[in-house]
Structures are given as C-alpha cells and as structure tokens.
Amino acid sequence: MLDLGRFSLGTAGLGNLYEPMSDEQAWAVLDAAWECGVRYFDTAPHYGLGLAERRLGAFLATKRRSEFVVSTKVGRLLVPDPAGADRLDLANHYAVAADARRVWDFTPVGVRRCLEESLLRLGIDSVDVLYLHDPDEYELESALEQGLPALAALREEGVVSAIGVGSKSADALARAVRYDLLDLVLVAGRFTLLEQPALEELVPCCHEHGVGIVNAGVFNSGLLAATWPSAEDRYEYGPVPADVLAKARAVAEVCAEHGTDLPTAALRYSLREPLVRTVLTGAAAPDHVRANQRRLATPVPDGLWTALRDKGLTRL
C-alpha cells in the first residue's frame, strides 16, 4: 500500500487557479510542502492546461524518485489551439493563455496518450496513482465502461501502482467503486465539515470494496479556510449562496465555543473516518502550507464533534 501521508498537496493553484502565480511562487509553495513533510503530490493536465504538471515536475526533478508519491489524471486530452493564445482560460478559472483546449477521451488509447503526455510534462518515467478525472462531467457510464478497464490494464502491466477516480460527485464515485477495480477515490468537496454526501453511499461502498479515500476540497473552495466565513469567499468555485454561508457560520460558532478555529476543524474532520488515507489541500503561498501543517497537529476536543452532530450540522 502506498504511503500517502496524512497531509498532501494538490496543485490546482500551481496552474494559476483564479489568478497568476509566478514560477518562483510555485516553487516556494512546493518547497514549503516538502519541508513540512509532504511527500504525496496530486496534479492533472486540467490544472492550468499543463502548467501545474510542468511546475511540479521541475520541482520533483530535484528529489530522488523513491522519496515521493505523485498522481495525475486522465480523461481530458490537451489539444493545441493557437487561436486561443491571445485570451485567458478564465472560463475554466485558470489565468493562463488558452492556447490549448481540453478534449474528453476515456478510451484506452486516449487514457494512454493522456498519461504519456503528462509524463513528458512532469519529466518522470511513471506516476504512482492514476485517476479518471471528472467522468460525471462527460458521460458517466461510457467513461467508466471504457476508462476503468484501461486503468486496470495499466496497473496490471506495472505502469502505475494504484488507480482511482477523482470527482466532485459522491454518487459518481460510488458507482465507480462498485466496478470493484479501484484502489482509491479522490473526493473533492463532498466530505467536509460543511457537507457530507459522501457518507450516504460512497463511504459505505468503499468499506465494502476496500477502497481508500483521498479527501480533497475540505475547505469547500475557501469558505472554511478562515476563522469566520465571509460572503466574499468562494464556494464551488463561485459566489457563496446565503444558506450555505449561514450554515458555515453556524459551524464556525460551534468551533469557537470549543476553542477550535474553523480551518483546524475542517482539516481534521474527515480523518476520523479510517478509510481517509490523506487530506489533500492546495496552497497559494508557503504560509498556507505551514498553517495547514500546524492545524493538523492541533488537538481537537471530542466534544466539538458531538456538539456539531447534536445540532444537526454534521453526520459524523
């Protein structure tokens, strides 16, 4: 079993998510993560049209391959699009030149091509974990029927050590787990202190099939990243609905009553589920990484979880 560590780094931010980041800033984030003991890094072609993979690869080139675990994703091929070079990829939330376009392809040929191109951007010979990326945003059944056997074949050939599916849809992930082929699922924003749809079917399904959970998006796009949630924060990559903001503030109040700040509780919440192998967080600055490391090491009173559950704010 791969050792992912309790704390891991997602690299969407290194692809200029929302706003530009310099190469130097990206390196500083990765360096801080390494200093904090992070050894599992997740990326994808989707993140900045390959920029995140290239930046991560440049950093990992300075480390021994045996020292880290890296995952990337397949399903979105990057096809050159010179006509888009004079505009930014803001429709997908990335401040990079739109000189390529994403093309869905979950076929065995497409999966292998996507992996090969990722390896070139990363500058390494292999990745440890390979995920299907957001198959529910394409045609779920078709993507799973084609993509999962393609991933399994790569694992059988020894090309990758583990396979999984990454998605914001707990229902789609549960459906993928039932194929009984996966080692991991990467859950984005569906198993958080704010909302837990993953507990309905996905987590029980993972227990039944022995599938580990990589839990991402625990701050719900930033809403839970500050002690007091603000209407100016993001939720699901966009504005915060009033009812969601009200619930987040109710959770924050209970946290404060128990001497815990909201981000600390958000980071530690899902680790109470034994199947959660790691909490995967992004970072826009080195201090964000260091703060998350400190919070993960901060004890949280059991009474907090009981109070949140008793008030109907959480299910675990």
Domains of the chain: 7-310 (3.20.20.100)
Q: For residue 237, what pLDDT is reported? A: 85
pLDDT digits (tens, 9 = 90+) for 194-247: 999 999 999 999 999 999 999 999 999 999 999 999 999 999 888 999 999 999
* DSSP class per residue in 115-169: HHHHHHHHTSS--SEEEEE-GGGS-HHHHHHHHHHHHHHHHHTTS-SEEEEEES-
The mean of the pLDDT values for the chain is 97
pLDDT digits (tens, 9 = 90+) for 1-32: 899 999 999 999 999 999 999 999 999 999 99
Position 315 pLDDT exceeds 90: yes
> In this structure, how many other beta carbons lie within 10 angstroms of the beta carbon of residue 173?
30
Per the annotation, the verdict on 179 as an active-site residue is: no
Q: What is the mean pLDDT of residues 157-165?
A: 98
SS3 (DSSP) at 73: strand
Please state, in angstroms and as integers, the Cα–Cα distance from residue 245 to each residue in 190, 231, 232, 252, following that order: 16, 7, 10, 10
Active-site residue among 40, 47, 94, 131? Answer: 47
